[in-house]
Amino acid sequence: MSVRPPTLREKRRYLLARIEPCGVPLEAKDLYYTIHEAATSLWGDMMVATMHPAVIALEEGYAILRCRRGTERECTIALSTITTCRDHQIALRIIAASGTIESLRDRIGVMGSYVPQGRVRALNEECTFDTRTFEVVHCDGHKLDVIEKGFKNTHRLFLTTEDLEEK
């Protein structure tokens, strides 16, 4: 099928979402299936067919998503019902909607990348909380994400630097 001229193409909107928690390993394909499942579960096949959601890119901790123009509201509600993706607990925080991918990329540039950082405490540094030993996996400002040491597949704990000082 030949490419349609711009005036005949369907109008689309692009959504920028931050992927929480920071540094969770996600594949675009897995996220696509997750979004599809969430949207279908909430709105049904008819609405999802109209919405036509897709994952454009996963960049620097953000996801650029696509939907048909006029269905942004339904799409964002469906995105807010996403809790897991491939056994990873996640949340998508919608930041912006735009008519072009370029403007969303500019927005990412302004906000800065959302990748694991060790600003106050070094990554993989050990710390103690509630008499247990944890490993720092992300530290940005006062926010601190840790995983308990010595166990596989344990949950991530979301703390602040003040919590470690106190316990």
Partner 1 sequence: MMITDACVFPYPNGLSSVRRMAQEAAALGFDSIVAADTPSCTAGDIPVFFGLMISAQSVKEVTTQVKRGNGPGVIVSVQARDNGFNRAVCGMRGVHILRDIHLADKYAFDHVTAKIAAESGTAIDLDLSPLISGRGHVRQKAIHRYLDILTLRYRYKFPLTISSGARSVLGMRSVREISGICSIIGMDEEDIEQALGGVAETTAPKEMPVRVIS
Work out whether 159 is an interface residue with partner 1 (CB under 8 A).
yes
Work out whether 162 is an interface residue with partner 1 (CB under 8 A).
yes
- Per-residue x/- marks for partner 1, 9-28, CB under 8 A? -----------xx-------
Work out whether 94 is an interface residue with partner 1 (CB under 8 A).
yes
Q: 92 with 67: CB under 8 angstroms?
A: no
- Per-residue x/- marks for partner 1, 113-132, CB under 8 A? -----------------x--
Which residues, at least 6 apart from 105, have a Cβ–Cβ distance to it below 8 Å? 59, 64
Minimal CA–CA distance to 35: which of 85, 100, 98, 88?
Answer: 85
Tell me how far apart the alpha carbons of residues 54 and 162 are, in angstroms, rounded to a whole number.
40
Q: In which region does residue 129 sit, left (phi positive, over 0), alpha (psi from -120 to 50) or beta (all else)?
A: beta
Residues 73-92 close enough to bind partner 1 by CB under 8 A: 73, 76-77, 80-81, 83, 89-91
Residues that bind partner 1 (CB under 8 A): 20-21, 41-42, 73, 76-77, 80-81, 83, 89-91, 93-94, 130, 142-144, 155-160, 162-163
